[in-house]
Structure 1
Amino acid sequence: PFKTVKDYQNWLARLRGFINWTKLAQQRMDEGIASKVVLPRVLVERIIPQLDAQLVTDAQSSIFYSPINLLPDDFTAEQKSQLTTEYTQLINAELLPALTQLRDYVKNDYLPNSRASDGWWGLPNGKDWYQHLANSHTTTTLPVDEIHQIGLSEVARILSEMDKVRVQVGFSGDLKAFFASLSSEPQYFFTDRQDLIDGYMTIKNRINQVLPQYFNVMPKADYIVKPVESFREQSAAGASYESPAVDGSRPGIFYINTYNLKAQPKWGMTTLSLHEASPGHHFQISIKQELTEVPQFQRFQGYTAFEEGWALYSEYLGVEMGLFNDPYQYFGKLSDEMLRAMRLVVDTGLHAKGWSREQAIQYMMDNSPMAESDIIAEVERYMAIPGQALSYKVGQLTILRLRADAEKALGDKFDLKAFHDQLLTSGSLPMAVMENKIADWIESESTK
């Protein structure tokens, strides 16, 4: 918060810490160069423009100066003057030189030492390291080869479902032509950035109307829809979610990247809203933070397999909620599910099977209607965060299996709202722990 003079001084202290961090980061990168544990060249090339964007000519143009533009009215003229001087001096004399040094280091020292391989198989002990990361992110013990095969079978299943939609809407060409049509024809896209944001607000209201039929527990915090800021929109993902403040002072934020409207088709909006906002990330993360009867690590720590598995399960739930009666919106759901299935193939391909960046991009182009700019951002993300993208589909498949187990065991006693309570009211858990919890719940419910 920026409400008191102390808040402003705290931010200056954090800024000094960040300046120190830029120097420590260079030391660590030097160690990486020495041990040949470095980033792929294309990722380093992506970093340099992001640093360039911070190298403004004066303090007032820096994003780090923003708090000074928000000085509270109850500050005295002397306090305002003092803080303005301190911020200006620190940014001009220390921050901008430190960022310039970091940019120069990355461009002149780190980039020439970056690696040609795109996956972790190209690092020392890279395949073993990747298997460890796959297990860590999915909170399972699945072998990488098995994950790759699950991905291939899911891609085949979803392609079949997509073709049914093609037939349903009477499209005369093949599936590839259907992809091309959905990805290019003007009626599937907005031409105004604000219209896209407004469209998500309309979907939010529609989803909110049916949520009480599926949930007993809902978050106290609301969320807002915002466009991604201009300084990061060219490299950011298509959408993301930022959790609300724990004290309720700030809502959750559903970010939409409006940089390339051709990467934001109308038919993908319902499923994206279900995933990133309600009942996906917004429900799971906000409810987790609002819990009072669990340890803090369960409220604030996260397990990607559960959190992203829940968000992908929320897309599935949208079918039962009646939110996909429009076949084009249902295709959007399949398209997003296809992304998560392709990730199992591409992430493991890149890091365990020697795939190149170009090979991964082509695989995703062949099997989905995604915009090429989105596919490139996705593939480069997998290169940068190995194993993380596996957790979505693995987590969703685990939750669906747990629900099927509960429905089979409990029959008429099965209560979907109560099942959702079990998933949402313990905070974030590893999938193995969640499996034990649901097994205990099934046993308890069956004896009632």
Structure 2
Amino acid sequence: MKLEQDWLKNKPAVIPTGGIITIPNGKAWYAYLLKRWTSASATPDEIYQFGLSEVARVQKHIEAIRQQTGLNEDDFYKHLNDPSFFIIDPKLVQQAFENTKEVIYANMPKLFSNTNIAPLKIVKGENRQLAQTPGYYDNNAFYYNLFDKPYNKRQVDWLFMHEGVPGHHYQAGTEAQTKTSAVQQLFYYMGFAEGWAAYTEELGKQLGVYKMPYDELGKWEWDIVRSVRVPLDVALNYYGWTDEQALAFWRKNIRGQDDIAMREIARMRRWPAQVVTYKYGALQILHWKEELQQKQGAQFNIRDFHSRVLDHGSLPLFMVKENVFKKVKLFIL
């Protein structure tokens, strides 16, 4: 409220277009937005360091897959553009997603107690305004974008999990079955929603997909983008980096995806702090799971863990954590 009051007192005659850092109290606004989007009290400096650590972690996963292939680095990245990785026929793209859906649905009971959710449609996206995203979810439908380009097979598995099941669609379906208050329904917590969807991509092998190293690589190829965006978001909107500095950082840490670099940099300037939610939320959930696995050992139940994360509807992450670690009361009759 103080930031709002200061804005009303000192509102510029013309709103700057150079990003949030160029407005009055820009750095304070960014620090606030980080808390708003992540529903956590992390500072910009902490989030920057967190992002660097995630970049390093994901790069190790990519390198491990490269070593599995036996290719040197140059040949590996050259091979990723091989025609065998791309689907030309739109009907085959649809079929690929349908196949992934069938496999994942068959394996859901291994990881989730509730498998009775609303049917999910798989639809080819027609909205060119959303063409810059690989896909999206809306109202019981998963839309994949395919506009005049061969489709990369490596993004089929992770994208379906993120937008469909057990990602956004499963989360929405679970929430629809949850009794929530009218007040709670007024709020939406991006750190929880995008964090959950990004977390589910880690479950691919348990859900029967990521059968080949290159299938799993697709998940890490997009994860390195998400990871690099975290420190870049802070650098652009809090440290005051130029687009040129941001592009140099991108190229230093991501190989073979220059085509989307400026698009993502522009997105971070337009929507400060939002891109942080994917990685920050996903890592909180992953760390909770690891902590419970260590504490409970053989007693750890993955289905119970996922229920504890989802069964209270959309909440800020600190409240989700309370539900995850809440002790189960035993009643003896």
**TM-score for both structures, normalised by structure 1:** 0.67
Q: Quick one: distance in 2 between partners of 1:270 and 1:359?
A: 33
Q: 1:273 aligns with which of 156, 160, 171?
A: 160
Q: Quick one: distance in 2 between partners of 1:444 and 1:203?
A: 35
CA distance change for structure 1 residues 420 and 168 in 2, over 3 Å: closer, same or farther? same
Aligned 8 A contact 2:134 2:159 in 1 = no
Aligned 8 A contact 1:121 1:127 in 2 = yes
CA distance change for structure 1 residues 370 and 258 in 2, over 3 Å: closer, same or farther? farther
1:196 pairs with 2:93 = yes
Count of aligned pairs:
323
| CA deviations over 1:130-174 (Å, ceiling 9, x no partner) | 110011101111111111111111111211221111111121334
1:141 pairs with 2:141 = no
- Aligned sequence identity (%): 29
Other-structure match for 2:77: 179
Q: 1:412 aligns with which of 294, 298, 303?
A: 298
Q: Secondary structure at the match of 1:323?
A: coil
1:216-365 equivalence runs, <5 A = 216-234=113-131, 236-242=132-138, 244=139, 252-259=140-147, 261=149, 264-291=151-178, 293-298=179-184, 301-365=187-251
CA distance change for structure 1 residues 223 and 128 in 2, over 3 Å: closer, same or farther? same
Q: Quick one: distance in 1 between partners of 2:243 and 2:316?
A: 31
Aligned 8 A contact 2:161 2:201 in 1 = yes
Q: Secondary structure at the match of 1:259?
A: coil
Q: 2:68 aligns with which of 140, 150, 168?
A: 168
Amino acid at match of 1:281: H
Aligned 8 A contact 1:413 1:446 in 2 = no
Q: Quick one: distance in 2 between partners of 1:419 and 1:303?
A: 20
1:6-21 equivalence runs, <5 A = none
Q: Quick one: distance in 1 between partners of 2:133 and 2:11?
A: 28
Q: Secondary structure at the match of 2:288?
A: helix
Q: Quick one: distance in 2 between partners of 1:447 and 1:406?
A: 22
Higher-Rg structure is 1
| CA deviations over 1:40-75 (Å, ceiling 9, x no partner) | xxxxxxxxxxxxxxxxxxxxxxxxxxxxxxxxxxxx
Q: Secondary structure at the match of 1:320?
A: coil
Q: Quick one: distance in 2 between partners of 1:153 and 1:123?
A: 30
**Structure 1: tracts of 5 or more residues without a match:** 1-31, 39-114, 245-251
Q: Quick one: distance in 2 between partners of 1:290 and 1:179?
A: 45
Other-structure match for 1:425: 311
Q: Secondary structure at the match of 1:225?
A: strand
Q: Quick one: distance in 2 between partners of 1:447 and 1:347?
A: 49
Q: In proportion to residue count, which structure has more helix?
A: 1
Other-structure match for 1:44: none
CA distance change for structure 1 residues 173 and 405 in 2, over 3 Å: closer, same or farther? closer
Amino acid at match of 1:201: E
Other-structure match for 1:121: 21
Q: Which has the higher contact order (CA 8 A, sep 6+)?
A: 2
Aligned 8 A contact 2:104 2:208 in 1 = no
Q: Quick one: distance in 1 between partners of 2:279 and 2:330?
A: 29
Aligned 8 A contact 1:410 1:445 in 2 = no
